Structure 1
Amino acid sequence: MFRLFWVIAVAAIIAGATPGSIQAQTMLPGMGANSADAEAAPIPEEMTPDAINAMVARMSDDEVRDFLLQRLDSVAVAEGKKAEMLSGLDRIANLWNALITPTTNAFKKLPVLLSTQVKAYNNFSEAYGGNNGVVKMLSLIALLLAVAFAVEYAVKKWLVRTKNPENTGSSEGLREAVVFLLKRFLREIFGLVVFYIVLRAIGRLVLSPQQIMFAAPFVSYLIWMPRLAGAFSRFLMAPHRADLRLVNVSDHWARFIHRHLIGIVLLGGVTFFLANFNFANGILPGETLIAFWLDSGVYIYIAYVFWFARDGLSEMMRGTDTDNTRFDEIVARAYPYFGIAVAASTWALVSTLAGLGQLEQIYKGAHYTTMFLLLITPVIDSGIRGLVKHLVPPMQGEGPIAEQAYYATKRSYVRTGRVIALGFILSLIARAWDFSLLGLLQDRGGIADNLFSFAMTAIVGYVAYEGVSLWINRRLAAEFTALGMSKEDADNEMGGGGGSRLSTVLPLALVSAQTTIIVIFGLLAIGNLGVDITPLLAGAGIAGLAIGFGAQKLVGDVVSGIFFLVDDAFRTGEYVEIDGTMGAVEKISIRSMQLRHHRGPVHTIPYGEIPKLTNYSRDWVIMKLKFTVPFDTDPNKVKKLFKKIGQEMLQDDLFKEDFLQPFKSQGVFDFDDVGMIVRGKFMAKPGKQFTIRKEIYNKVKAAFAENDIDFARREVRVALPKTEAVGEMSDAEKAALTAGAAAAALQQQEQGPTKAPKGPD
């Protein structure tokens, strides 16, 4: 009996198995591994009862049990994968059904839409005493509204007359325009508050609680909300005051957007009011779907506005800034289509939530809040660029480097403002959907929570990154306004004076700080996604050890560079010599430095290969000049001329700031076969000595000419016989004498005058 049970079980399992899995089973579990005499028992190709019985007869009970367990596990895994696949498909199918169900039901409810709405009104009329009672209540509400409007109008007129006279002229600037518009906006908000207080106070005295239940949503959705939207639109668009308008848009599009913005809010208010009206009068949400049609009308209305006003909206996003980037232009062109996409996405989200029966957030208007925040995000970006244009500090210094620093600072302000605004908008959206910000940052229970924590961590890290970069770049602009050699230095024999020690270290500090922020916040952001970063840290430690052992030369270069910077051996812009290689320090990194030779070539030298460094630009430079004068020149006269030249140059505005010690004479330095060599010297700031030297040469030449002092020239002397002896010479002797004089004159002409040597001693 027991053997028969195994036969039936094996037959059932084999019958349910796939042909591929049967052919893959060439040896049963336990056979050939535990017994030396056992042979492989292949599964019979023909699944006849006799074949299965013969196969099982050759197997022990343990082997049959192992075989059954193995086949059951395979079937379970296959069924699990199939169920998982079906679960994913079912989830997609459920979302699709939830998306199309409200639309399908809405079309099904169209025949009873009007009759159901009439039923809601009849219930409302019966509750308020028939049509006469409804007319009486509406008349009373209209009277209350008239009184509230009158009080509001009087208060606003009093404020305009006493506190803030109406501006009828053109605005003189952005500040005046913003101040006026802000005062007008606050005055309108104050008027709305007065309107609400008066209406509430009188309404509680005149209306019954039942009438208040109707009047409160009527006033809130159909009057107060559109007026609030109008106040906001007037502040931003100023449809009738182009001189005060804060956005770059024409009068036509400003008025178009202003009108339709109020219309969109009014249609949304009608949607909420009618949904509450029907529910209060016995019509369940599923009984009539008029709210669905009105809500869909809101999205269609938004798409209509963004499509027909796309030129004006792109113009508004583009702004008046002449420094717009390619990204700004792309955003300006895409904004109208972005608005249409947001409207369509919001409709799909609301339809899906309604199809899933999650109506709580829809009743609270979370979808409208989300859509509004997403639609104004590009507008906020345009406003950020406009504010940065007026808030960014003025450019420090002149030249292309100063302009580049100014534009970099401006773009950094814009990027930081964008990221902060994005984080603020995400927080408002999360709050609109009743998400706890603290819970999202701490619990991280689902993928949405993880993504939110990831986004907020990335935003904080980016703000820190931009803040550090902005601070260091501002310090660099103040410390060092020109990286590398200037045009004046490029014309000299050697580079000019270098930057400060801080300007040399700050670029390395910037790279180090940026790298640290990226690594730390990158790991935190990855951890917020639920990824375990412990293996990443361990891998980074192992990689660090591998680099330390395998790249000892690199480590040596880095360590040497650190000590060179600590010793302040060189600074950016200084002219140095390293083992015969000369140039101005143009760039430094963590392992090497770049020298720009005064003829153009760039030399890259690792710190570890610097045996000795000579700095020609540190603190001060002494230059000594040599001049050769005839032997009969008075040295004291030359000394006075040099002193006079030095004093004159100290009074010259072009050179007085470059001198550390004036030009003066050092007396007779040497004699040669031409004349006396006199020398002068001066001390100047590094890089300025060459310009000063040129001017000194010009002044010395002019002073020597005024005082009849010549520069020594090489001479050839020829001894001539006495005059009375010339007559006694023969013709051959006279010809030889003439030839010798001509040769001496020719030699003197070829050699030219003796020139004073140039260059530092």
Structure 2
Amino acid sequence: MLRWVFALAALIGFVTIAEPAAAQATETGAATAVPVIPDDLTPEQVDDLVARLSDDQVRALLLERLDAVAEARAGDSPAPQKGLIAEITETANAMIASWLDVLSKVPQLVGKQAEALHNFTTTFGTSGLASLFGFTFLALAIGYAAEKAATYLTRSWLRKVPSGSADDLRGAVGFLFRRFCREILGLVVFYYVLVFVGRRLLSPEDIAFAAPFVLYMIWVPRLGAALSRFILAPERPEMRLVNIDDHWAKYLHRNQIGLFLLIGFTLFIVTFNGLNGIAMGEMRLGFWLNLSIHAYIAIIAWTARAGLSDMMLGTDPDRTRFDEKVAEYYPYFAIGVSAAVWLIVEYYSAIDDREALARIVAGAHYITMFWLLMAPAIDTLIRGLVRHLQPPMIGDGPVAERAYKSTKRSFIRIGRVIAGVFVILMIANAWDIDLRAVAGAGLDAGGAVIEFLIIIAIGYILNEAVSLWINRRLAKEQTAIAQSPDEEAGEGGGAGGSRLVTVLPLLRVTAQVAIAVIFGLLALGALGLDITPLLAGAGILGLAIGFGAQKLVADIVGGIFFLIDDAFRVGEYVDVGGTTGTVEKISIRSMQLRHHRGPVHTIPYGEIAKLTNYSRDWVIMKLKFTVPFDTDPNKVKKIFKKIGTEMMEDPVHKEGFLQPFKSQGVFDFDDVGMIIRGKFMAKPGKQFTLRKEIFNKVKNEFKANGIEFARREVRVAIPGLDEADHLTPDQKSAVAAAAAQAANEQSHQNGGD
């Protein structure tokens, strides 16, 4: 009892003390109440307000303004960014929670689906369902009849059947394309007739349910079947566009139709349940249907991996190691793409991204998967088209073959870049991504990456186009001059290539380096990197090279002027300061000479003081023949003229002559006989073959006309030669020794002269 008395007294004392304090606080609050200040004050009103406010009110007004500014800044400040590990952990936890939710709702699958069917039947009733199904069936029948009429009217498209040979690609593609267009035309007629009839037979509520069924369960699978027949031609192996046997072609065709049916059923059931008041999140049926689609793709790819690898490999014999690896791993790539797309769908489902889920319901992930799986197939198609549509090889020989293969690879690489851009655009369109807007997003990382890739793609295509043009011109020039390492140029002096053959390789290297540098800098700039230091560093490096490598600069400058002067070309026989050989290769700093015996000499341009070219335009070959003094020069002249006329009429040798072989008369005398000289003018590289043929003909004509070639003889005058038959062996030995000594002295004398 005493405790309650003390408590009551304390309470009365607290109230007595608090009342004056509260009254004082009320007065102070009234004195310091923050006035309401309108926004549209004039300068005069501001001065008048400041004059009437007390210090406490000004202080309170200032504090209120500062608090408002602090709150605004706190609201505008970005939330602290999470680290990569935190993001991955949070995403993994969300996906695990989503999968656990899927498992927890397995018992509700049947009940929720039954509820959707019940809502459907309740909405329409028995008569409504009969009307819906009856009119839908009637519209389908009318649409199918219109399709059959359209295909009947276009039956003439298939009258021209190709031969079926491997080389008749144009005919096979034409036939399959006409058949595909005929099927697509029939599907279009079927669809629009069905829509036209359905709008007149069915109510808007009926159309809302019938349209998804027709689109997803009928039209989409039939479109997939038409595409499969165009590519695989399961019943027409002689016209098949891909390299696959009948077994795997039919297997893939059947399962591709089944896959499209499963995809269509998934899209239909999602739409159907949504229209009947059952959200997919309530039963998570979409998870199991989507999983079944991706599992089906994995099963198809694993089962038909041998056929898919053959299809990707193609029939082109000039395939590279890269092509073989792509073909080998394509089935596993298909499985990986299917799994990756499934994970993407699960990711958006886990984070509940409504916008992305709406695109997934519309089939964006299936479109993405389709084009990713089609990318290697498109590459195979590109290789096949290049093989059949590329211009034929120019000329013959290893040079022409190398140029042909290089041109083919350039066409394939350009096609791959264009196909890659096309696939990216199709995937971006499926997800409603405007790449132009992303690329123009300034500092946005995605925009920078896209702009970087666009610049790299343009530079790559430009590089391949330049290489393609130069390689084509090189092949044309090199095969036009018909270079071959045969015996014609075996002693040097062979005909050189054109000026383009010499300059184009250097031009190709220069253009490729320039394109790589320019587009590399532009790409780095697109990523937001400051390329000014790189340019400054390149300038300093160039200056350092200029001062520290003056000899290198002299070599490069000298080579430029030699090429401008057209002093030599690849394939020409030249003499550089006593070093002779055929120009085999030129670079920006030096040239390589191949001696006719095999050694290769590398000579920097800066060391070339004088260059003699033996292969430019024409060659004069002069031949000497020594005949006895009693030979008639006019007779020899007639023989030479006859040989020259015969060789000018010879189809094998006449193309090598610029002027026929003819006599130049007596050139000189020696102690053996007369030296008669003949000459002819020939194309560079042809003179040695012509010379050998002329030697053979001169020998045969001299023999036929009783003319002998003069021989060097040593005559020894011996007194009493009439009694030579009676010489003793010692005397004969002495005569032989004297003759040998005289011959040696004469030989030494001729050698000294």
**Normalising to structure 1: TM-score of the pair?**
0.83
8 Å contact kept, 1:100–1:351 = no
> Matches of residues 518-597 of structure 1 in structure 2 within 5 Å?
518-597=516-595
8 Å contact kept, 1:271–1:291 = yes
Question: Alpha-carbon deviation of 1:744?
Answer: 7.7
3-state SS, counterpart of residue 286 of structure 1: helix
Aligned to 2:123: 127
Distance 2:726 2:393 in 1: 86
1:293 aligns to 2:291 (yes or no): no
Question: Alpha-carbon deviation of 1:465?
Answer: 0.8
Aligned in 2, Cα 1:534/1:663: closer, same or farther, shift over 3 Å? same
Distance 1:148 1:751 in 2: 116
Question: Alpha-carbon deviation of 1:582?
Answer: 0.9
Aligned in 2, Cα 1:188/1:730: closer, same or farther, shift over 3 Å? closer
Aligned to 1:362: 360
1:203 aligns to 2:203 (yes or no): no
8 Å contact kept, 1:489–1:495 = no
Distance 1:476 1:448 in 2: 42
Aligned to 1:230: 225
**What CA deviation, in whole Å up to 9, does each residue of 1:312-336 have, x standing for no partner?**
1111111122222211111111000
Tell me which amino acid in the other structure corresponds to 2:341: T
Number of residue pairs the alignment of both structures matches: 665
Tell me which amino acid in the other structure corresponds to 1:95: T
Aligned to 2:132: 137
8 Å contact kept, 1:629–1:712 = yes
3-state SS, counterpart of residue 481 of structure 1: helix
Aligned to 1:705: 703
> Matches of residues 672-687 of structure 1 in structure 2 within 5 Å?
672-687=670-685
8 Å contact kept, 1:594–1:604 = yes
Aligned in 2, Cα 1:224/1:581: closer, same or farther, shift over 3 Å? same
Aligned in 2, Cα 1:286/1:163: closer, same or farther, shift over 3 Å? closer
Distance 2:742 2:343 in 1: 101
Aligned to 2:502: 504
Unaligned runs of 5+ in 1: 1-82
Question: Alpha-carbon deviation of 1:199?
Answer: 0.7
Question: Alpha-carbon deviation of 1:236?
Answer: 0.6
Aligned in 2, Cα 1:748/1:131: closer, same or farther, shift over 3 Å? farther
Distance 1:672 1:262 in 2: 98
Aligned to 2:40: none
1:607 aligns to 2:605 (yes or no): yes
Aligned in 2, Cα 1:168/1:503: closer, same or farther, shift over 3 Å? closer
Distance 1:123 1:671 in 2: 126
8 Å contact kept, 1:561–1:591 = yes
1:98 aligns to 2:116 (yes or no): no
Aligned in 2, Cα 1:751/1:722: closer, same or farther, shift over 3 Å? closer
Aligned to 1:78: none
**What CA deviation, in whole Å up to 9, does each residue of 1:26-65 have, x standing for no partner?**
xxxxxxxxxxxxxxxxxxxxxxxxxxxxxxxxxxxxxxxx
**What CA deviation, in whole Å up to 9, does each residue of 1:409-441 have, x standing for no partner?**
112211111111111111221222212122233
Aligned to 2:326: 331
Aligned to 2:235: 240
**What CA deviation, in whole Å up to 9, does each residue of 1:724-746 have, x standing for no partner?**
xx68x9978x8887667666888
1:216 aligns to 2:211 (yes or no): yes
8 Å contact kept, 1:485–1:586 = no
**What CA deviation, in whole Å up to 9, does each residue of 1:572-619 have, x standing for no partner?**
111111111111111111111111111111111111111111111111
**Normalising to structure 2: TM-score of the pair?**
0.84
8 Å contact kept, 1:230–1:258 = yes
Aligned to 1:113: 109
> Matches of residues 56-455 of structure 1 in structure 2 within 5 Å?
87-128=83-124, 130-160=125-155, 162-165=156-159, 167=161, 170=164, 173-358=168-353, 359-455=357-453
8 Å contact kept, 1:497–1:574 = yes
3-state SS, counterpart of residue 372 of structure 2: helix
Aligned in 2, Cα 1:165/1:394: closer, same or farther, shift over 3 Å? closer
Question: Alpha-carbon deviation of 1:370?
Answer: 0.8
3-state SS, counterpart of residue 657 of structure 1: helix
8 Å contact kept, 1:625–1:679 = yes
Tell me which amino acid in the other structure corresponds to 2:87: R
3-state SS, counterpart of residue 480 of structure 1: helix
8 Å contact kept, 1:318–1:332 = yes
Question: Alpha-carbon deviation of 1:644?
Answer: 0.8
8 Å contact kept, 2:162–2:172 = no
1:472 aligns to 2:470 (yes or no): yes
Tell me which amino acid in the other structure corresponds to 2:681: M
Tell me which amino acid in the other structure corresponds to 2:644: G
8 Å contact kept, 2:157–2:179 = no
Tell me which amino acid in the other structure corresponds to 2:89: A
Question: Alpha-carbon deviation of 1:527?
Answer: 2.1
Aligned in 2, Cα 1:483/1:489: closer, same or farther, shift over 3 Å? farther
Mean Cα deviation higher: 92-101 or 573-582: 92-101
Distance 1:693 1:169 in 2: 54
**What CA deviation, in whole Å up to 9, does each residue of 1:654-709 have, x standing for no partner?**
21111111111111111111001111111111111111111111111001000000
Unaligned runs of 5+ in 2: 1-79
Tell me which amino acid in the other structure corresponds to 1:477: A
Aligned in 2, Cα 1:442/1:483: closer, same or farther, shift over 3 Å? farther
Aligned in 2, Cα 1:103/1:751: closer, same or farther, shift over 3 Å? farther
2:642 to 624, 641, 644: 644
Aligned to 1:62: none
Aligned to 1:56: none
Tell me which amino acid in the other structure corresponds to 2:472: R
**What CA deviation, in whole Å up to 9, does each residue of 1:330-382 have, x standing for no partner?**
11110000000000000000100111112132123221111100001111111
Distance 2:131 2:480 in 1: 81
Aligned in 2, Cα 1:459/1:186: closer, same or farther, shift over 3 Å? same
Tell me which amino acid in the other structure corresponds to 1:101: A
**What CA deviation, in whole Å up to 9, does each residue of 1:71-117 have, x standing for no partner?**
xxxxxxxxxxxx87x64332112221233333222111111111111
Aligned to 1:515: 513
Aligned in 2, Cα 1:750/1:386: closer, same or farther, shift over 3 Å? farther
Question: Alpha-carbon deviation of 1:446?
Answer: 3.4
Aligned in 2, Cα 1:635/1:490: closer, same or farther, shift over 3 Å? closer
**What CA deviation, in whole Å up to 9, does each residue of 1:631-658 have, x standing for no partner?**
0000111111111111111111121111
3-state SS, counterpart of residue 486 of structure 2: helix
Tell me which amino acid in the other structure corresponds to 1:165: R
Distance 1:710 1:527 in 2: 84
Question: Alpha-carbon deviation of 1:451?
Answer: 2.5
8 Å contact kept, 2:488–2:689 = no
RMSD (CA atoms): 2.6
8 Å contact kept, 1:484–1:587 = no
Aligned to 2:28: none
Aligned in 2, Cα 1:279/1:193: closer, same or farther, shift over 3 Å? same
Question: Alpha-carbon deviation of 1:455?
Answer: 2.1
Distance 2:174 2:247 in 1: 24
